[in-house]
Amino acid sequence: MASSISKRNRRNLILSEITLIIISLIIMAPVLLALSMSFMKPNEVYTFPPKLFPSSLHWENYKEALQLVDLSRMLLNSAIVAFFITFGKLITGTLAGYAFANFQFKGKNLSFMLLFITLFLPAETVMILPLFLIMKQFGWINTYYALIIPFTASATNAFLMRQHFMTIPKELSDAAKIDGATSMQYFWRILLPLSKSMLGGAALINFVYAWNLYLWPLIVTMDDKMKTVQIGVKMLIDAEAANNWGTIMAGTMIALVPTLIIFFAIQNLFVKSLVSSGLKG
Amino acid sequence: MSWKSKLTPYLLLIPTFIIIIIFIYWPAAYSFKLSFYQESFFGNRSVFVGLENFIDLFTDPEYYTVVLTSFLYSFSSVFITIFIAFLISQLLVQNIPGTRLFRLFIFAPYAISPAIAGTLWSFLLTPTVGYLNYLFLELFGINTDWLTTTPYAFIAVMLATIWKMLPFDLIFYIAGLQSIPDSLLESSMIDGANLWQRMWKIKFPLLSPITFYLFIMNFTTTMFASFGIIDIMTKGGPLGTTTTMIYKLYLDAFAFQNNGSAAAQSIIMFAIMGIITVIYFKGVEKSVHYQ
């Protein structure tokens, strides 16, 4: 009997293995096929039935994509925007999280609630019109200010950090107090170094979020020099409109690879932070 | 700063509150104001019109179609995604050789933007070079321009949405499944529950708080954040069959410069968000209560 169970187990295992291989392939197919097409010569693109692999690595598509739309400048914009949004969110988030986790003060509940409500007012979508009009009043249209500053604080980050700081034993801050450290010294020298992995995970989630923003950069930038790479891909599609999908896919790869590499490199950290932000906060 | 200073916590909160007051609270209030005004027929004067923008929307059959499209698109994408995610997550917690690699690939769409997801799926479904289009032709004899014909455009947008949303749900189901004690599943196996029964009668009910959380998160994602997919793939067409509430809001605000109506639409979307919030908290209270 024992051997029949293990035989069945083994059969199940092989079945699961095959299913997972198929599922992975299906899910990765759009990316893999796009990658493959980004290297095809124009005449290969239109063969019927479609070819799975390019006959050679035809880099011309990448050159063409970079020339057609100023993608290198847009890549730089995306990097600047994503970097500063991430940085801003980490600063505001850790400070606010620290206030909520380690201090008792008048208006704590009220300010917590005021912050909480913002979770349900998604600025980059529902409030897009008034936000745009405010940017116009500020004279910020077509500037990095408009692309970055509105997104440099969020309740999610504050709550995530609060939740994390609360798991750090109170004895540590007590000891710091006795040793005569100020509250900011404790924050910089003890609390933050203890939170490295949480900060790393939060940074990744914020970076990917910021890099992938679409609607807001679309309306707040008119000048091509200020556009992000997400908008660049849309411009490529409009410019090329079914002329050469090889070029469009090359542009797509340029926009997609940075976040994908980061994700592949540190997936574990990423997943851990995502789950703890969702299930606790 | 000393520990005793009463100012410290307020100073810590100031950066966050400056940002959210200027860029969330002010625009929200501004939305309310705008929703009561209309641009005058000539020139740039705004005229107070009371509730007229809302009345116009509620008496416009086209707006109902947009609301219906939004909900249909959201609910169907969300249900399908949650169902598929629950099934696949079972496979990913079994410690099958290579699981880490499979997870890496299966989670990848999480890092891809909605706009890029839309681009990839447009490409797969394009009549001239699309692989998926070719597959549909071979398998079912369907050869259509997916993005410009009904009802295919709606299905195409859903496909891209599900693909993009799936990893998020998977991540949470996997975390949930890993937290179910083995002893519980072992005892059910001794009681003779088969794989299918264990999955739906034991694991699924145990994970219902996660399912609930995912449902709310997915619903808001599809309602509000799926703009990129729709803008790239269909631009709301054909014949408005993929025009969701957020897409119409965008068109009215930025293509037709109809600020009053757009602001009224965002107030309606706030209200929907508010209802979701209330449902979420009622639900969380309940699930906490039963735990």
Q: Which backbone phi and psi does A40 adopt, to 5 degrees?
A: -90, 145
Please report residues of A whose CB lies closer than 8 A to that of B26: 130, 134
Q: Which helix (H) or strand (E) holds B38?
A: strand B37-39
What pTM value is reported for the model? 0.92
C-alpha torsion sign, points A121, A109, B277, B161: positive
Question: Tens digits of per-residue pLDDT, A109-165?
Answer: 999 999 988 887 776 778 899 999 999 999 999 999 999 999 999 998 999 899 999
Q: Are B114 and B108 in contact (CB under 8 A)?
A: no
Please report residues of B whose CB lies closer than 8 A to that of A242: 126, 128
Question: Tens digits of per-residue pLDDT, A50-70?
Answer: 888 888 888 999 999 999 999
CB contact under 8 A, A215 and B269: no
CB contact under 8 A, B3 and A214: no
Q: Are A260 and B111 in contact (CB under 8 A)?
A: yes
CB contact under 8 A, B246 and A126: yes
Cα B250 to Cα B263: distance, rounded to the nearest angstrom? 10
Q: What per-residue confidence (pLDDT) applies to B188? A: 79
Q: What per-residue confidence (pLDDT) applies to B128? A: 79
Q: What per-residue confidence (pLDDT) applies to B96? A: 87
ipTM of this complex: 0.91
Q: What per-residue confidence (pLDDT) applies to B198? A: 86
Please report residues of B whose CB lies closer than 8 A to that of A132: 253-254
Q: In chain A, whose CA is at the least distance from the CA of B28?
A: A127
Q: Are B241 and B153 in contact (CB under 8 A)?
A: yes
Please report residues of A whose CB lies closer than 8 A to that of B247: none
Tokens of B186: 């072992």
CB contact under 8 A, A96 and B16: yes
Instruction: Count Cβ neighbours within 10 Å for each residue of A42-59 and write b for 16 or more, e otherwise.
Output: eebbeeeebbeebeeebe
Question: Tens digits of per-residue pLDDT, A164-210?
Answer: 999 999 899 899 989 988 999 999 999 999 999 889 989 988 999 99
Residue among A130, A242, A256 minimizing CB distance to B112: A256
Please report residues of A whose CB lies closer than 8 A to that of B273: 120-122, 126
Q: 């847009």: which residue's tokens?
A: A74
In terms of pLDDT, which residue wins out, B221 or A1? B221
Residue to test with chain B: of A12, A20, A189, most B Cβ within 10 A:
A20
- Min Cα–Cα distance to chain B from A65, Å: 15
Omega before A217 within 30 of 0, i.e. cis: no
Q: Give pLDDT tens digits along chain B (291 positions).
A: 667 788 999 999 999 999 999 999 999 999 999 999 988 766 567 889 999 999 999 999 999 999 999 999 999 999 999 999 999 999 999 888 889 899 999 999 999 999 999 999 999 998 878 889 888 888 988 888 889 998 999 999 999 999 999 999 999 999 999 988 888 888 877 887 788 888 888 899 999 999 999 999 999 999 988 899 999 999 998 999 999 999 999 999 999 989 999 999 999 998 998 898 888 888 877 765 443
CB contact under 8 A, B106 and A27: yes
Q: What per-residue confidence (pLDDT) applies to A1? A: 46
One-letter amino acid of B130: G
Q: Which residues pair with B47 in a beta bridge?
A: B38
Residue A7's Cβ-count burial label (10 Å; 0-12, 13-18, 19+) is exposed
Chain A contact for B276, CB < 8 A? yes
Report the largest interatomic distance among the alpha carbons of chain B, rounded to a whole angstrom.
79
Q: Among A222, A234, A209, which residue's Cα sits nearest to residue A154? A: A209
Q: 């006795």: which residue's tokens?
A: A178
Q: Are B40 and A143 in contact (CB under 8 A)?
A: no
Q: Are A217 and A147 in contact (CB under 8 A)?
A: yes
Cα A240 to Cα A55: distance, rounded to the nearest angstrom? 23
Please report residues of A whose CB lies closer than 8 A to that of B115: 212, 214, 230, 233-234
Torsion angle (degrees, nearest 10) of CA B219, B221, B224, B227: -130
Percentages helix, strand, coil for chain A (3-state, rounded to 5) are: 75, 0, 25
Question: Tens digits of per-residue pLDDT, A120-132?
Answer: 777 677 889 999 9
